[in-house]
Structure 1
Amino acid sequence: MSKRIIYNFLSDDELLRISNKIKETEKKTSAEIVVAIQEERKFFQKRKSLRQLAEIEFNKAGIANTADKKGVLIFILLSDKQFYILADKKVSDKINQNTFDQLANEMSEQFKSGNFASGILNCVDSLGKLLSLEFPVKSDDVDELSNKVIVS
């Protein structure tokens, strides 16, 4: 079995730091944040756009099923070094896609400098600040989704 592509970019320790950052960030917002890293396009995905791949992952991760429709996916396609941030209905009603595209661009710049973990950590942090303004944490808030980074 060949070595996974992910380990050319992130160590297990860095993946854990990202998961912990998501957990810490979600304590300040009622929204859900998911980071999904796809190592490469599968054969049947060759013709799909980056957004379409993000939509597939969005549904697979269960973000579409959250109670308040306040989930956000940070989708990373490693082989193509592409990023897409996809938000659920309530979030995209308050924060426009241009804002998410800007965050993805900032993450891309970090990646170009070889700062893979800090690029993702900074993106989660910036996203958390935006989400906490629009969707502050509530007393009855429940963490509906795993904070673990999804790698496929």
Structure 2
Amino acid sequence: MPDITQYISTQDEKEIIDAIKQAEKNTSGEIRVHLENKCPEDDAFDRALQIFEKLEMHKTELQNGVLFYVALEDHQFVICGDKGINDAVENNFWDTTKDIVISHFKQEKYKQGLVEGIIKAGEELKKHFPYQSDDINELSDDISK
């Protein structure tokens, strides 16, 4: 089984984490990225929901967590937002963000796709969940695998 680093290098991971930190600077929202080679479920959205729960993203105070789930070998990608953010954004927001990410993935620019999607999600989170002086980072910015 190919290593994830075939798709996303250690340096790419650092840049993705930096994008998460940048995106979260102006919002109380939380963004996570989960990478795996293959999706062990028949449906990638079901898998994303499992990871969302495993990472305890549903426990944020304002229900404003966003997960970028990627199964690299299977070419599966899901953006999964919690209730608070899903209720706030326009209906097509996740689709337009997903289109940006996938357009880069098709060119094998995985890092660039994730970075641009994360920044776009952060801008939307900022509109609905602006940073408050007492905000704490509720979830790790590290990439889970």
TM-score, normalised relative to structure 2: 0.94
Moved over 3 A (4+): none
Would the alpha carbon gap of residues 3 and 78 (structure 1) be closer, same or farther in structure 2, given more than 3 Å must change?
closer
| TM-fit CA distance, 1:3 | 4.9
Would the alpha carbon gap of residues 97 and 50 (structure 1) be closer, same or farther in structure 2, given more than 3 Å must change?
farther
Alignment match, 2:34: 36
Query: Identity across aligned pairs (percent)?
Result: 29
Alignment match, 2:141: 147
Alignment match, 1:7: 5
Alignment match, 2:74: 80
From 110, 126, 130, the equivalent of 1:136 is 130
Is residue 119 of structure 1 aligned with residue 113 of structure 2? yes
Unaligned runs of 5+ in 1: none
Task: Write the deviation string for residues 40-86 of structure 1: whole angstroms up to 9, x where unpaired.
Answer: 123xx2x3x12101100100111011122111111111122121111
* Matched residue SS, 2:132: coil
* Matched residue SS, 2:92: helix
Is residue 92 of structure 1 aligned with residue 86 of structure 2? yes
| TM-fit CA distance, 1:97 | 5.0
Root mean square deviation, CA, Å? 1.3
| TM-fit CA distance, 1:93 | 0.4
Alignment match, 1:68: 62
- Does the CA contact (< 8 Å) of 2:2 and 2:37 recur in 1? no
Cα distance in 2 for residues equivalent to 1:135 and 1:85: 18
- Does the CA contact (< 8 Å) of 2:39 and 2:76 recur in 1? no
Cα distance in 2 for residues equivalent to 1:73 and 1:98: 17
Unaligned runs of 5+ in 2: none
Alignment match, 1:19: 17
- Does the CA contact (< 8 Å) of 1:40 and 1:80 recur in 2? yes
| TM-fit CA distance, 1:136 | 0.6
- Does the CA contact (< 8 Å) of 2:28 and 2:132 recur in 1? yes
